[in-house]
Amino acid sequence: MLTFDHVHFYYKKGQTIINDVNFTIQAGEFVSIVGANGSGKSTVAKLIDGLLLPKKGTVKFQQLDTTNPDELMKIHQQVGFVFQNPEDQFITTTVMDEVLFGLQNIRVPREEMRGRVDTALRAVQMEEYLEAMPHQLSGGQKQRVAIAAILAMQPKMIIFDEATSMLDPQGRKQVLSIMHELHDQGMTIIHITHHMEEVLSAERILLIHEGHLEFDGDPFVFFETMSVEKYQLQLPFAVRLRKTLQLDPPFTVNWKEGIRSQWSIN
Amino acid sequence: MVYQLNNVSVNYSRQTALRNVSCTMEEGKWISVIGQTGAGKSTFVQVLKGLIPHIDGDYLIDQQPVKRDAKGQLKVIPEIGFVFQYPEHQLFETTVFKELAFAPKQQGMSNQQITKSISKILPQLGLSEDILPLAPFQLSGGLKRRVAIASVLMMNPKLLIVDEPTAGLDPISKVALLQLLKKWQQQVNRTLIFVSHQMEDVAEYSDEVIVFHEGCLIGQLDTRTLFLEQSHLLEKIGLSLPESVQLLKLVEELTGEKIQVSSCREQEIFEKVIPVWKARRLQNV
Ligand SMILES: Nc1ncnc2c1ncn2[C@@H]1O[C@H](COP(=O)(O)OP(=O)(O)OP(=O)(O)O)[C@@H](O)[C@H]1O
Ligand SMILES: Nc1ncnc2c1ncn2[C@@H]1O[C@H](COP(=O)(O)OP(=O)(O)OP(=O)(O)O)[C@@H](O)[C@H]1O
Ligand SMILES: [Mg+2]
Ligand SMILES: [Mg+2]
């Protein structure tokens, strides 16, 4: 569905920001992108969405090339992008218009719009803020609205660029379960995050290190075999605990149930 | 310095963001502020910095009412360092160097001294000198946040307020920042107000925790008491416990044994819990 073929990118000549990155993501995958601050994760996200164009190599979404302006339009209709800073995404003066704006852009029929707005805002529990100004919301409320605006568009793929960084623990869980629900319904999810516990529930990890794709594979293999500190990352709590207790891997998915079942087996 | 609010309320056009908040923040403490999205945390710290002109109630520093203008409005308090939840709100210079030099210049520091302090602060935040000529908007999210924190530390504030300072930092940079803040706070024996959603960090570093719920301050407790003895308070408002505390409680539940810990730091909990878990599991076999 999405292919990076020998992609290179720099903002200024002489720099190397993205260096020969290759990967293919199939429709319906749940992929996490991790890496140090400044390693190039958001740049990769913007290359996927065609907000940035490769200096060398190609980025294709379902055979559509981001460098072709007509095809780029079609990509925008199918790829949703929740920005790292929700304020970069806001352009209107009310929460309702914010969600409507995206729908108008992709030409959703008028009679369908209001229903979509309500459903999306309800999913992130912001339905009471229809008339509020996006810039006057709390930090976490802004993130929720930014997510709702993309959900309403019902794209084929969503890129979440650290979209849960300002949410309270419960809100984070909710958004994560929204991502998994969408994934169950067949949507492709790309989740950029610094929260290692969130990564455990992905199907696949891409590790970006100084603009290079350093690892591409299973999260469990990743945490068992890579020296993650080298990439400014840490083991998730469950993996630290598993190692200390010397228990077997399935335990890691849900450590509380893991402990309970260990206890009752013995 | 002691900072004190008496019955402070803040009303926005659509809603009341703070309701009758009273609290005292003593010198030399790491005080964390927690609560759900929209609970009033950022509003609370903005009041302390004097960023919200109209408040009901009183704000005292060392028993003295904070100065107001002729219309009774509060003014920004320069000695308080403040790092915004979104760093973009405070990065306005054209280069990172100017950004870092801004506060010390205003305080009358010489150019030579400024360059020296900048060289000192950059490595503490894991930043390289290469970024000095860049415009702040050219930085990645996590780098922007570290520059925002560095520029506030450059002013050597009396009280430091950081609103979600670890959001967007990679895990190792996050730990480095938390340790830097702890060192700063202990070395100069000043107060740090730390707003965060990361219960693990709150449990690990704070002396005291202030809990907000729907605009009300519903508790100000020492960290151990909150997480180990009054955890129902958090469950009631839907905030989860740090994972290490969850582990402690689970093993206590399964073994029926009370495990004594003197803090809720992860290392201590691991040290006390693992032997109990291992011993009891063997007995069960
Ligand atoms: N507009 C820009 N102009 C010049 N350089 C930029 C620009 N945007 C990003 N960079 C640089 O490109 C590199 C990669 O940035 P990117 O935003 O992709 O990192 P990231 O992995 O998303 O980091 P973070 O975890 O901090 O969000 C960084 O060194 C950054 O400073
Ligand atoms: N400038 C403003 N105008 C109107 N309402 C506001 C303004 N700023 C905040 N609010 C509202 O006041 C309430 C408290 O907001 P505040 O930013 O203090 O929350 P918070 O606890 O910091 O939340 P978060 O964890 O999401 O950052 C929210 O419901 C918010 O929508
Ligand atoms: Mg980024
Ligand atoms: Mg806030």
What's the gap in Å between the CA of A125 and the closest CA on chain B?
A: 11
Q: Which of A132, A232, A237 has the CB atom closest to B172's CB atom?
A: A232
Residue B285 clears pLDDT 60, i.e. is over it: no
Domain B3-239, CATH class in plain words: alpha beta
Domain spans of chain B?
A: 3-239, 242-285
Closest ligand 1 atom to the C-alpha of A39? 21
Which residues 6+ apart lie within 8 Å of B77 measured at CB?
B48, B49, B50, B61, B66
What's the gap in Å between the CA of A119 and the closest CA on chain B?
A: 20
What's the gap in Å between the CA of B239 and the closest CA on chain A?
A: 6
Tokens 């455990």 correspond to A200
The fraction of chain B above a pLDDT of 70, given in percent, is 99
Query: Which of these ranges, A73-77, A216-220, A262-266, has the smallest mean pLDDT?
Result: A262-266
Query: What band does A261 get if pLDDT is binned at 50, 70 and 90?
Result: confident
Structure-token pair, residue A147 = 């997510």
Find chain B residues with C-beta within 8 A of A233's C-beta. Answer: 170-172
Question: Across the interface, do B143 and A85 touch by the CB < 8 Å criterion?
Answer: no
Helix axes A237-245 and B266-284, enclosed angle (nearest 10):
50
| pLDDT score at A251 | 65
Q: Which of B86, B173, B281 has the CB atom closest to A37's CB atom?
A: B173
Backbone angles phi, psi at A61, to 5 degrees: -115, 115
| Of A180 and B283, the one with more pLDDT | A180
Question: Across the interface, do A237 and B238 touch by the CB < 8 Å criterion?
Answer: no
Interface predicted TM-score (ipTM): 0.91
Q: Is A35 in the pocket of ligand 1 (CB under 6 A)?
A: yes
Mean pLDDT, residues A193-198 taken together: 94
Q: Which ligand is nearest to the CA of B139?
A: 1
Residue B281 clears pLDDT 80, i.e. is over it: no
According to DSSP, residue A251 is labeled G
Mind spelling out the 3-state secondary structure of chain B? Answer: CCEEEEEEEEECCCCEEEEEEEEEECCCCEEEEECCCCCCHHHHHHHHHCCCCCCEEEEEECCEECCECCCCCECCCCCEEEECCCHHHCCCCCCHHHHHHHHHHHCCCCHHHHHHHHHHHHHHCCCCHHHCCCCHHHCCHHHHHHHHHHHHHCCCCCEEEEECCCCCCCHHHHHHHHHHHHHHHHHCCCEEEEECCCHHHHHHHCCEEEEEECCEEEEEEEHHHHHHHCHHHHHHCCCCCCHHHHHHHHHHHHHCCCCCCCCCCHHHHHHHHHHHHHHHHHHHC
Pairwise CA distance, residues A102 & A109, whole Å:
12
Which of A194, A210, A226, A259 has the highest number of chain B CBs within 10 A, making it the mutation to test binding with B? A194
| pLDDT score at B283 | 66
Question: Across the interface, do B37 and A139 touch by the CB < 8 Å criterion?
Answer: yes
Residue A162 clears pLDDT 80, i.e. is over it: yes
Q: Which of A13, A17, A44 to mutate to test the pocket of ligand 1 (most atoms within 8 A of CB)?
A: A17
Helices (H) and strands (E) in chain A, counts: 10, 10
Q: For A2-245, which CATH superfamily applies?
A: P-loop containing nucleotide triphosphate hydrolases (3.40.50.300)
Mean pLDDT, residues B221-241 taken together: 93
The CA-based angle B38-A122-A157, given to 5 degrees, is 105
Which residues 6+ apart lie within 8 Å of B213 measured at CB?
B35, B36, B39, B237
Domain spans of chain A?
A: 2-245
Does A241 touch chain B if contact means CB atoms closer than 8 Å?
A: yes
